[in-house]
Amino acid sequence: MKLQHTVKAVAVLAATLALTAAHADPVQDDQLLINGEEELATQAPAPDHLEGALGDTVYSGWLFRDTDTRAMQKDDFDNPMFLFVDAGLETWSTPEGTADKSCADCHNDIEESMKGVRAQMPKVNDKGELWALENYVNDCRTNRMGAEAWGWNSQEMKNMTAAIGLQSRGMPVAVKIDGEAAPFWEKGKEMYYTRFGQLEMSCANCHEDNFGKNIRSDHLSQGQINGFPLYRLKDQGAVSMHQRFVGCVRDTRGVPFEAGSQEFRELELYVASRGNGLAVETPAVRH
């Protein structure tokens, strides 16, 4: 029964999306050496919970991009995301809201206080809710600064999550999936394998069953999220994780959940856990 379904899904995929059999593996002869000095791990042993679903190795999306795109991420001067990082750093020390406080007034040096934060998000907060980095930022803005919440996909939010994410660059993704996080993780996993849209396709149909193959002349990766928010050359702008989820669900001609929704935070936790062990690459560059 399950096999029949899979065969059908792959047939639909091949017919509708021009999936070509041509297998193009992740590049093996390049290293993500940042500014010529700091090497980031673009492969890691697959986490146990995957039970071999991705073979024995997980790969960064960087390894599936062309030479020029890969090069842009190697040098912070060439990486267009650094304009946004700089804007985020400026906001970090700018007072705002009725409390007239800046992030720096409480958290001081971002390099110290935000080190490792990205690598553990999303996580369960002290009220037992699953929060993404964006939730923590907006909680401080609204409850501690008396400022307006930023939109999930607003430029201000992406500037800030890029500046915070950078402080974990090179550290292994290490989201917690047991204990209080387990029920959220289970739901995210269920969603990852649920077929959406007219094409009846799940995340797994593309990013697990077919990574390495070409789809509409695009090279399919494992759909990892260790580089977000990232610069997308096609959009000439910064893209958040949830924006990317929306785009992928839309490609199946399905109706996506909203950025910031409970569903997408659970999906974020599960997808992040598929990349546990990969280096945080924020801010990455993709085409």
Binding residues for ligand HEC, rule: CB under 6 A, are 17, 61, 64, 101, 103, 105-107, 117, 133, 136-137, 140-141, 144-145, 160, 164, 201, 203, 205-207, 215, 218, 220-221, 223-225, 227, 244-245, 248-249, 251-252, 267, 271, 286
Nearer CB in complex with ligand HEC: 189/286: 286
Considering beta carbons, is residue 37 or 253 the nearer one to ligand HEC?
253
Q: Please state whether beta strands 237-239 and 230-232 pair in parallel, antiparallel, or not at all (unpaired).
A: antiparallel
d(CA 198, CA 167): 40
Beta strands 38-40 and 213-215, pairing class = unpaired
Which residues are catalytic, by number? Answer: 248
Residues 273, 177 contacting (CB under 8 angstroms): yes
In the structure encoding, which two tokens stand for residue 188, read together?
Answer: 């995210």
Cβ 225 to ligand HEC, closest distance in Å?
A: 5
Given a contact cutoff of 8 angstroms between Cβ atoms, the answer to whether 241 and 129 are in contact is no
Residue 67, number of CB atoms within 10 A of its CB:
8
The angle subtended at Cα 130 by Cα 47 and Cα 173, nearest 5°, is: 30
Q: Nearest distance from residue 247's CB to ligand HEC, in Å?
A: 8
**Residue whose beta carbon is closest to ligand HEC:** 61
Token digits of residue 68: 């020029």
Helix (H) / strand (E) element for 164: namely helix 155-166
| Least Å from the CB of residue 242 to ligand HEC | 10
Integer CA distances (angstroms), 196 to 147, 177, 200, in order? 37, 25, 5
Closest CA to 285 of 40, 4, 11: 40
Find the Cα–Cα–Cα–Cα dihedral 147, 153, 157, 163, rounded to 10°.
170
Nearest approach, Cβ of residue 145 and ligand HEC (Å): 5
Q: How far is the CB of 140 from ligand HEC (least distance, A)?
A: 3
Report the nearest approach of ligand HEC to the CB of residue 226 (Å). Answer: 8
Q: How many CB atoms lie within 10 A of CB 273?
A: 21
Lookup result for tokens 């995929």: 13
Length of the chain: 287
Could you tell me which of 238, 271, 273, 243 has the C-alpha nearest to residue 257? 243
Q: Closest CB to ligand HEC among 169 and 244? A: 244
